[in-house]
Amino acid sequence: MISRREVIKWGAAAPAFAACSHAAFASGVQGCDAFLLDQRFAAQVPQNHWGIPVMRFDGDVTGHWYQTIDPAWRQRGYVLGGITGSDALFVLETLAQQHGRRVVSRSQVGAADARGIAPVSWIIAPVHPSVVA
Amino acid sequence: MSVLPPDLDEAGFATFLEQLRGAVGADWVWSGEADMFPYRDSFSPVWNTGEERHASAAVAPADVEQVSEIVRIARRHRVPLFPISTGKNFGYGGPSPNVNGSVVLDLKRMNRVIEINEARAYALVEPGVSYFDLYREIQERGLKLMVDCPDPGWGSPIGNSLERGVGYTMPHFRDHFGAHCGMEVVLPDGEVMRTGMGALPGSDTWQEYPYGFGPDPAGLFAQGPFGVVTKMGFRLLPLPEYYRSGMISVPRRADFAKLVDHVNYLSDSGLIGEVEFGSPLSALMGDPQFLALATKTGGPSNAEMDAAAEAAGLHSWHVELQIFGPEATTLANWNYASDRILSDIPGAIAIAGDHFPLPATDDQLDNQTQPYRSSIKRRRSLGVPSLGAWKIVRDDGHVGFFPVLPRTAEAVFEMQRVLGDAMKEFPTLPPFFNALTMPLFWHTHTFQMVFAPSIKHDDPAHNAITHAAMKKCVAVAAQHGWGDYRAAPIYQDDVSDTYGFNNHILRRFHEQLKDAIDPDGIIAPGRGGVWPRRFRS
Ligand SMILES: Cc1cc2nc3c(=O)[nH]c(=O)nc-3n(C[C@H](O)[C@H](O)[C@H](O)COP(=O)(O)OP(=O)(O)OC[C@H]3O[C@@H](n4cnc5c(N)ncnc54)[C@H](O)[C@@H]3O)c2cc1C
């Protein structure tokens, strides 16, 4: 189970990702094992930021799901942060729930487009005893 | 919103949950609003209204013995269970049940690929195995087999096929229930049954001969409330050596009749895989004058549409063909298909498309290299699971009505007209049915059309329109002999009502079966419009 302290920490972190200032980002990603960036909304962050792998995609998360996230979510631990469209977050959140994980922090960081898709900054962490680190 | 199972008070519910915990372990039972949020249908048009269906709890067994035990406990407490495999049934109810207070029997932990037999081209899987899982296993073992996937790959062969879901490769594999072979089911009394050759101890043909001997009840478990499926076999397509695509377009509106007949022949003869029909005229839909013509009450005449096509210098229809097999055979099939159509329809044009050996490269899967604008989604066409379908989801989701219609141009034009006119009552929805609405060739021998209005969590007025439009579409379609193939729980009674031959004898027969084996409605009461006596009143 993640602690209340960690939830609060991540709650503060997600908006910090969105600011994308290097300092804010550096403090925010602490505790994350990887970071997902939807290039439709956030393109500036370098590939490997403060030692945390940054996975980039354009709305379709299939490649990262298959290569990295699915294998990682079969193990214990693995906290994932991201700035993505709300559509991509819906996909990840639904998959997360099936793997004992939850969105522990989220904040919308921009207006929705005509299709109703807004950029969201979030953190998904393990919550079920079978997958917490 | 916390709910209780029907006819159970707080204390009874607490005892019931305690017994579930005893069966599967405390970590695998959930209740309470926060834990149950993921089991809501986030695509529901009745989101946050009194009509939304809520589960009271969820339980995740590890194996078939635990499933039997849960069913027995539920039977003792008369609590309805709602089994799900991967629970991704979005557009058709998501993981939410028919009956408020049901307990979701979440089979996600039963996720073993039990067997894949390459030489005999089949797989045997548990419910929690997703299309991604099955694909990964095939890739990692280097097996030359192809999985026929639905558009989103996160669902499961078992959940999808029990909904009679569809895919995109060769005709007999696209019908996922049709491609199943053998199942294991926990019945409403907790007994474990195997269908077909699985009933014969020592048989090695469970995944090769579906029927065994005597009546085959397998069909009752698809869209039905008769059992919890714990294993299911599937026929797989041997990985074809080569893939070839091509497009054929025809000039006049009336040419669609011959085009459809040729495509039917090619498909029924096993010469082509899934096709995508389209219209070059859809490029004109942004022009208000053309839009008015395409959505005209009573439908435009062929002459009006042909005049518009001629003025724009466009053909009326096209079809994208996909061909699988050895390279030489795919070429011969393409040449045959294009000769056949071009020699019969004056002015028809054929354009050869991409072709390559399988498995495809990433670039080929991304379908960037066609010499024409293609609407084929290559991953799903080549049995590669994807999550890219989410790019087509508008707002917070949608509900789906997919009426089944005959494979003729006449039926296509009639449905365009009839449902187009009927849906004019809902002017804020996109014109799903218009003079260019294309049939989908998903199932093996029939067409469908798509009506999938969106829902918005923060806009109940919009959702109410979607809800009313769904109901009207079901009713109007039925008046013309077109029935829905699959529906969310909130529409299952409406759809079931339309299958009313001989005073609803089909439903009455199902009810008799339900009353006989599950009078208290322990397994998914109401699913497929089949209610046990307890809930009928
Ligand atoms: C954008 C988009 C595209 C889609 N494209 C397609 C498509 O191409 N093809 C298609 O078919 N669908 C499609 N769908 C619909 C849906 O997402 C898929 O059909 C999905 O595979 C169903 O979810 P699932 O496999 O997790 O099944 P589940 O949700 O697990 O099961 C579906 C239903 O079957 C019953 N059930 C499940 N498991 C069992 C069991 N073990 N025993 C008894 N009953 C059981 C339950 O009633 C359950 O509600 C699409 C949806 C969206 C939103």
Per-residue pLDDT tens digits for A98-126: 999 999 999 998 898 887 889 999 999 99
Q: Between A60, A70, A95, which is nearest B391 by CB? A: A60
Q: Which residue of A has its CA nearest to B389?
A: A60
Considering the segment(s) B242-279+319-392 as one domain, its CATH architecture is: 2-Layer Sandwich (3.30)
Six-digit token string for B439: 């049939």
Q: Which residue among B134, B163, B230, B375 is best mutated to probe the pocket of ligand 1, counting the most ligand atoms within 8 A of its Cβ?
A: B163
Contact A61, A80 (CB under 8 A): no
Contact B222, B524 (CB under 8 A): no
Interface contact flag, A90 B42, Cβ < 8 Å: yes
Q: Give yes or no for residue B23 having a pLDDT over 80.
A: yes
Residue B371 CB partners (closer than 8 Å, separation 6+): B351, B352, B353, B354
Average pLDDT for residues B261-279, to the nearest whole number?
A: 98
Of B361 and B389, more confident: B361
Residue A20: its pLDDT value, please?
A: 46
Ligand 1 atom closest to residue B162's alpha carbon, by position in its atom list: 34
Own/partner pairs for A68-77, CB < 8 Å, 24+ apart?
Answer: A68/A34, A69/A34, A69/A95, A70/A95, A70/B132, A70/B136, A72/A33, A72/A34, A73/A99, A73/A101, A73/A131, A74/A99, A75/A131, A76/A126, A76/A131, A76/A132, A76/A133, A77/A33, A77/A126, A77/A131, A77/A132, A77/A133
Q: How many CB atoms are located within 10 Å of the residue B142 CB?
A: 7
DSSP letter for A13, please: H
Q: Which residue among B151, B234, B451 is best mutated to probe the pocket of ligand 1, counting the most ligand atoms within 8 A of its Cβ?
A: B151
For residue B95, list chain A residues with Cβ-Cβ distance below 8 A. none
Average pLDDT for residues B151-157, to the nearest whole number?
A: 96
Of B251 and A114, more confident: B251
Residue B125 CB partners (closer than 8 Å, separation 6+): B112, B113, B114, B134, B156, B157, B158, B231, B232, B233, B234
Q: Which of A81-90, A113-122, B180-189 has the least mean pLDDT?
A: A113-122
Average pLDDT for residues B462-467, to the nearest whole number?
A: 98
Interface contact flag, B386 A62, Cβ < 8 Å: yes
Residue A24: its pLDDT value, please?
A: 45
Residue A44: its pLDDT value, please?
A: 60
Contact B514, B226 (CB under 8 A): yes
Residue B466: its pLDDT value, please?
A: 98
pLDDT band at A3 (very low <50, low <70, confident <90, very high): very low
Q: In what order do the strands lie in the sheet with A101-108?
A: A48-49, A52-57, A34-38, A80-85, A119-126, A101-108
- Could you give the angle at the alpha carbon of A37 between the alpha carbons of A100 and B129, nearest 5°? 35
Mean pLDDT taken over chain B: 97
Which residues of B make CB contacts under 8 Å with A?
A: 27, 38, 42, 86-88, 108, 132, 136, 153-154, 379, 385-388, 390-391, 393-396, 456
pLDDT band at A22 (very low <50, low <70, confident <90, very high): very low
CATH 2.40.50.140 is right for the domain spanning B10-108+517-536: no
Average pLDDT for residues B45-72, to the nearest whole number?
A: 98
Residue A6: its pLDDT value, please?
A: 44
pLDDT band at A9 (very low <50, low <70, confident <90, very high): very low
Residue A45: its pLDDT value, please?
A: 60
Q: Which residue of A has its CA nearest to B34?
A: A102
Contact B241, B358 (CB under 8 A): yes
pLDDT band at A10 (very low <50, low <70, confident <90, very high): very low
Calculate what percentage of chain B has a pLDDT beyond 90: 96
Rg of chain A taking only CA atoms, in angstroms: 14
How distant is the alpha carbon of residue A132 from its chain centre? Answer: 17
Phi and psi at residue B129, to the nearest 5°:
-75, 120
pLDDT tens track for B313-329: 999 999 999 999 999 99
Instruction: Give B113-238's CATH code, choosing from 3.40.718.10, 3.40.50.300, 3.30.420.240, 3.30.465.10.
Output: 3.30.465.10
pLDDT tens track for B501-517: 999 999 999 999 999 99
> What stretch of H or E contains B416?
helix B409-422
> What's the rounded Cα separation, in Å, for the pair B174 and B443?
6
pLDDT band at A30 (very low <50, low <70, confident <90, very high): low
Contact A61, A36 (CB under 8 A): yes
> What's the rounded Cα separation, in Å, for the pair A84 and B385?
21
pLDDT band at A2 (very low <50, low <70, confident <90, very high): very low
Q: Give the pairing type, strands B404-405 and B447-448.
A: antiparallel
Q: Which residue of A has its CA nearest to B394?
A: A115
pLDDT tens track for B106-148: 999 999 999 999 999 999 999 999 999 999 999 999 999 999 9
Place of tokens 């439009």: B469
Burial of B35 (0-12, 13-18, 19+ CB in 10 A): middle
Residue A8: its pLDDT value, please?
A: 42
Q: Which residue among B92, B110, B160 is best mutated to probe the pocket of ligand 1, counting the most ligand atoms within 8 A of its Cβ?
A: B160
Q: Give yes or no for residue B241 having a pLDDT over 50.
A: yes
Instruction: Say how many Å lie between the CA of residue B84 and the centre of ligand 1.
Output: 9
Domain ranges of chain B: 10-108+517-536, 113-238, 242-279+319-392, 404-498
DSSP string, B192-259: EEE-GGGGSTT-S-TTT-S--SS--GGGGGSSSSS-EEEEEEEE-EEPPSEEEEEEEEESSGGGHHHH
> What's the rounded Cα separation, in Å, for the pair B145 and B120?
10
Q: Between A60, A88, A95, which is nearest B154 by CB? A: A95
Instruction: Say how many Å lie between the CA of residue B305 and the centre of ligand 1.
Output: 38
Q: Give yes or no for residue B465 having a pLDDT over 60.
A: yes
Q: How many CB atoms are located within 10 Å of the residue B338 CB?
A: 19
Residue A49: its pLDDT value, please?
A: 62
Which residues of A make CB contacts under 8 Å with B?
A: 59-62, 65-66, 70, 87-88, 90-91, 94-95, 97-98, 115-116, 128-130
Average pLDDT for residues B290-308, to the nearest whole number?
A: 98
pLDDT band at B358 (very low <50, low <70, confident <90, very high): very high
Of B17 and A52, more confident: B17
Phi-psi region of B99 (alpha: psi -120 to 50; beta: other; left: phi over 0): beta
> How close A4 gets to chain B, by Cα (Å)?
16
Coil vs helix vs strand at B61? coil
Q: Give yes or no for residue A16 having a pLDDT over 80.
A: no
> How close A57 gets to chain B, by Cα (Å)?
11
Residue B367: its pLDDT value, please?
A: 79
Residue B480: its pLDDT value, please?
A: 98
ipTM of the complex: 0.93
> What's the rounded Cα separation, in Å, for the pair B399 and B429?
13
Domain ranges of chain A: 4-126
Q: Which among B367, B403, B372, B375 has a CA at the least distance from the CA of B278?
A: B375
Residues with CB under 6 A from ligand 1: B 83-92, 95, 107, 127, 150-152, 155-156, 158-160, 162-163, 165-166, 228-229, 389, 392-393, 524, 527
Average pLDDT for residues B413-435, to the nearest whole number?
A: 98
